[in-house]
A = this chain, B = another copy of it.
Amino acid sequence: MHSISEYSSMIEQAISQLRFPGGALEGLYAPVSYGLQEGGKRLRPVLTLMTAEAFGAQPCEALHAALGIEMFHNFTLLHDDVMDNSPTRRGRPSVMAKYGVNSAILSGDTMLTLATQEVMRVPDQALRPVLDCFNRTAIEVYEGQQLDIDFESRDDVTLPEYLEMIRLKTSVLLGGAAEIGALIAGAPEQQAALIYKYAERLGLAFQIMDDLLDVYAGAEFGKPVGGDILNNKKTWLLLTALNSPLAPEVRKALTITDPQQKIQAVTALYDRLDMRRLCTRAIEQYTAEALDALNETTLSQDAKQSFRTLCEKLAVRSK
């Protein structure tokens, strides 16, 4: 097995080698290039390469599909930023802010079709199962985004509803990325389902950790601490607090107009609820479910260790 940073390098190299039409079509493709250079962890395509190799394929056999999944992810960021009216993304202007709303829409559409073209670069026998997984996952991601939008204007969102929303919006794409790697390697259906579950549960842990870090991490994570509190964002922490005996006090604290006072008041209530520990326990539970699914696979100990290392790397964020 290659290391995570080696997989990551393969993806960065493949992205850097992409060439798009220029000239009269510069306006369409410059935002595509810019969006792809957003340089996150490349977690999704890394999962595809790692899973493909774990099930016996060469990583290069899954490279284009992995790239397609990363393109799909970036397409969703372009459109999400339009829907959320977000001026920034990872500390630089969003595509919408840099190129305008229409470019973010149309270049996003282009990225979705380019993504499908890349995902199609698999052996013929894998084409239909890989695309079925890709399309099904895409639909679920849209459904998750729709629920996220709907939840903003609702006051009665429950924690299970929230968990289903983040599963669709975030986790299924990690699951799909892993499953596609397994399908390319010709893994049996049951094995593909187990590695899907590993990645999906990891995604849930990952997303809830985001909620935790927004309140309890330092500013070094690139987000203003307490941003979710300021925006009354429905997070794992807030929905748990609103389902606790302190709910009336939480509701009151959310009405405070001074930003710093609001963050302090809500955080103090979270502290009284021992929220940091509660949330950490939820993260650990989902991580354990991910590792249980991993252990059920017939993968080699070497391969399993790679997936465990990925878990640990992601968990480091919270320290």
Report A's interface with B, CB cutoff 8 A: 21, 24-25, 27-28, 79, 82-83, 102, 105-106, 108-110, 112-114, 116-117, 120, 124, 127-128, 131-132, 135, 138-139, 142-143, 145-147, 149-150
Please indicate the chain B residues that have their CB under 8 angstroms from the CB of A25 in the complex: 143, 146-147
Q: Is the CB of A106 within 8 A of B142?
A: yes
Known: A117-B135, A124-B128, A135-B116. A109 touches B24 (CB 8 A): no
Secondary structure at the A interface, as helix, strand, loop or mixed, is helix
Q: Is the CB of A112 within 8 A of B114?
A: no
Choice from B28, B112, B132 contacting A109 with Cβ under 8 Å? B112
Copies of this chain held together in the complex: 2
By beta carbon, the residue of chain B nearest A116 is B135
Q: Is the CB of A24 within 8 A of B116?
A: no
Known: A28-B146, A124-B128, A143-B25. A82 touches B105 (CB 8 A): yes
Bound-complex Cα distance A106 to B78 (A) = 11
Choice from B28, B79, B113, B124 contacting A106 with Cβ under 8 Å? B79
Please indicate the chain B residues that have their CB under 8 angstroms from the CB of A21 in the complex: 143
Bound-complex Cα distance A142 to B27 (A) = 11
Q: Is the CB of A106 within 8 A of B146?
A: yes
Please indicate the chain B residues that have their CB under 8 angstroms from the CB of A120 in the complex: 128, 131-132, 135
Choice from B24, B109, B149 contacting A142 with Cβ under 8 Å? B109
